[in-house]
Structure 1
Amino acid sequence: MPYPVVHIMFFVFCIFLPGLYGFMQSALGGGVSRRDWWHFLLLLMVGAFCSLLPDIPAVWNYFLYDNLEHGMAGPIPTHSLVFGTVAFCGAFIVGLLAYRHRDRALALGMFAETAFLSHLLLDDIAEGGLTYLYPLHNEPMSLFSYVNVEFSGVNFLYYNLAGIVSVFFIFCVLLMSLMSLHYLGFGFRYHPLQNGSGTNSGHSSVRSRCVSRGIQTSDANAVENIR
């Protein structure tokens, strides 16, 4: 299996890349507050933890049984879509506590799920087979084995469809990441979260965007007055 640092790097630089780019761009322009940094660190910590979640059983197995077995959590394979619900539900609860907003909590849960799936994809590349579809299908399967096939007159349509499904699964993981990051304000340009009740939050958002674009504070105040 890849080392934990590899899973975290894959998550940060592949799954979280749009949010990282947009936030760092705004931060270098001085357009983020302490609350924005807290928001950024929350997503980073939730995503990093969920990108390691399938290997978490190795921790207690090391202390209790002196081994690094991590494939099972009781009767459930940790490298399966079913176990991914733990990442979604856990992040959803964290989102409710942090944001007190159901839709934002759902977005955080979706983001955590993409971090979990990034772990499965990387392990699939390294090991060549995971029990994705447990309990419907208990045999290991690899998404990438179907992509790299030679031309053959036998089952030509089957292998092409399997390859398309494999690529579509990877596309869905990336799309889920982009959608959840965008809803939480972490697109290619960072947009601070706004409270549902106040115009002050809207004004601070305008100010942050103005500062990130190099507009002076006085001009930002003028924009707020126009609003």
Structure 2
Amino acid sequence: MSGTLPSKRTVVLDYGFGNVRSAQRALERAGAQVEITGDYDTAMAADGLLVPGVGAFAACMTGLREARGDWLVGRRLAGGRPVLGICVGMQILFARGVEHGAESAGLDEWPGTVGPLRADVVPHMGWNTVDAPADSRLFRGLPDDTRYYFVHSYAAHDWELEVTHAAMRAPTVSWTTHGSPFVAAVENGPLWATQFHPEKSGDAGAQLLTNWIETL
């Protein structure tokens, strides 16, 4: 699939948390021009911004703020510029995260709390299916039984954003179950995110990233 959409310039935000090289390779495979950078202006100018994330919610938020990533995400979204969050890069888009009893503020792009998985086996590590709505653009062309790679101990178990204006498009929310259901992916205007790792999900992940790139 490499070279399919060479005009689409994407930035993988380098703020010290995330598998930036894996994300770069996956986006290149999907056909994008990719730069890894923490430079604010370069990231603002890109067609698409990918925000990775691994580790603890609070640590990722600290790193993001130090890199002005909170401003970057907010400014891009205010201008309708696409952002894709992955793993903890998705979790920090919610209002708050709770780890080991301590609460940390997130970016608050979506209301709700990210908390510990409600499962007997934690972390959730390995391949799992996703229950995506039929109108999902992110999962377009991917069969219902497709498996994606997860590795996490926390998740958003509820979706709390309410659409109050008739002209607004309701977000497309996809779910996965590990012990109990949790949010696996969201498509909300220019802001998309996945709890799983598309860059580690083989051909399925490449197709999913291609679907995102085609919206840029």
Q: Looking at secondary structure, tell me which structure has more helix per residue.
A: 1
TM-score, structure 2 normalization: 0.29
TM-score, structure 1 normalization: 0.28
Q: Which has the larger radius of gyration?
A: 1
Q: Looking at secondary structure, tell me which structure has more strand per residue.
A: 2
